[in-house]
Amino acid sequence: MSTDISATETLDVKGENCPMPVVKTKQAIDGLDADDVLEVVATDSGSMSDIKGWADTTDGVELVGQEEGDGVYLHYVRKTE
């Protein structure tokens, strides 16, 4: 896995199942500044759709990328405001 997205902070939610990756992502995003990017590292395959759905319906955040490989799912969420 490789990405050109530069993350401000990394959140490790490996081993966590729904809804915890989304809950912890929201908590971490709340503590960031505008334009910061949070990298979320998960092992729950459902996090691909869960985090996308959350970002699509939440004001102030933007999903800027997702990657998948070797049972690990990476999500990049930017705080927009």
The sign of the dihedral angle between the CA atoms of 7, 81, 28, 78 is: negative
Q: Give CA–CA dist 36/42, Å, rounded.
A: 19
18 as an active site residue: the answer is yes
Rounded CA gap, 31 and 73, in Å? Answer: 22
Catalytic residue of the set 5, 18, 23, 72: 18
Active site residues: 18
